[in-house]
Amino acid sequence: MKIMINSTQLSYFTLSAYFDTGLFKYLFFIIVMTLYILTVCANVLLIVIICMNRSLHEPMYLFLCSLCVNELYGSTGLFPFLLLQILSDIHTVSTSFCFLQVFFLYCYGGVEFLNLAIMSYDRYLAICYPLQYNTEMTINKIVVLIAITWFCPLLLCIVMVSLSNSLQLCGNIIEKVYCDNYSIVRLACSDTMINNIYGLFITSLSVFCPLILIFYTYLKILKVCFSGSKQTRQKAVSTCTPHLASLLNFTCGACFEVLQSRFNMNNLPNILRIVLSLYWLTCQPLFNPVLYGLNLSKIRIICKSLVFAEI
């Protein structure tokens, strides 16, 4: 007989995806710590460069700055917790912290998709309507777009966590290396229809709507490129390539996570399942600043000048 427990009365969750790695745990700790330090340094460097250089106070770079802040936010929600769990022999997490981590990580994902959608809209205006760009993309509009990018996921995630926290649970074992909302909902003995409906709603609003906007803007950009001059095509390639690469990287990582959560993948090696589940949370925060730093000429030039100035 299953015992129903309100999640507010549950004291902890057990993360069962961890396995005994013996002395290798110190190697994993060093690898994850190095990845975290590189992520923080790369994103902070890009934020400082954009904020300190007036020549970069343009819409595209301000949206990129918002993206880097989100990478720091998402990394903070995962890496310190992951480092502690790697060294620990008992992989449990308090209920309150578990829901806090769910809020952090899902909010990070929502902000990431919306930020990428707004960046694609910015490129659409710059390439398709270059003469009207400065009048369309005003500072007030930039502030409003960035505020929407952050406020909407925050509000949606607050509701999602509140709904999950009110569920009656029949267990406390999460088959992941971090707290995941879908895994918590699967533990419920009570009716989860509202959670499932809201899950579809939040997925549509946070993922599919931004992807539709991105798809539409790039169709328009491609149309202009095919009918425009060589200079227009070069501008589109130079500014859109890092954005598309970032979008594909994050979308593929998120798809891996969704597939692993929804379908039985016990036939895969445990270490591979862990890597796939962590990919969208660990690689994207480091991938973005490196990608944009190498591909955007203004940032690349400033970085070179900083390096040679130090020498």
Q: How confident is the model at residue 142 (pLDDT cuts 50, 70, 90)?
A: very high
Confidence of residue 264 (pLDDT cuts 50, 70, 90): low
Task: Check residue 309 and give its pLDDT.
Answer: 58
Confidence class for position 265, pLDDT limits 50, 70, 90? low
DSSP string, 18-38: ----TTHHHHHHHHHHHHHHH
65 has a pLDDT exceeding 80: yes
| Alpha carbon 179 to its chain's center | 15
Q: How does pLDDT run across 158-216, given as a tens digit for each residue?
A: 999 999 998 888 888 888 889 989 889 989 888 889 998 998 899 888 888 999 999 99
pLDDT tens track for 31-57? 999 999 999 999 999 999 999 888 888
Share of the chain above pLDDT 90, in %: 41
Band of residue 243 on the pLDDT scale cut at 50, 70, 90: confident
Residue 301 to residue 47: CA distance in whole angstroms: 15
Rounded CA separation 216/119 (Å):
13
What does pTM read for this prediction? 0.89
Residue 238 in contact with residue 122, Cβ under 8 Å? no
- Three-state DSSP class for residue 114: helix
CA distances from 101 to 131, 154, 176 (A): 44, 13, 13
| pLDDT of residue 227 exceeding 90 | no
User: Is residue 236 pLDDT above 80, yes or no?
Assistant: no
CA dihedral 156, 160, 162, 168 (to 10 degrees): 170
Domains identified in the chain and CATH numbers: 8-310 (1.20.1070.10)
SS3 169: strand
Per-residue pLDDT, averaged over 253-257, amounts to 83
pLDDT of 1: 45
For residues 232 and 127, is the Cβ–Cβ distance under 8 A? yes
Can you tell me the distance from the alpha carbon of 89 to that of 219, in angstroms, rounded to the nearest whole number? 51
pLDDT of res. 111: 95
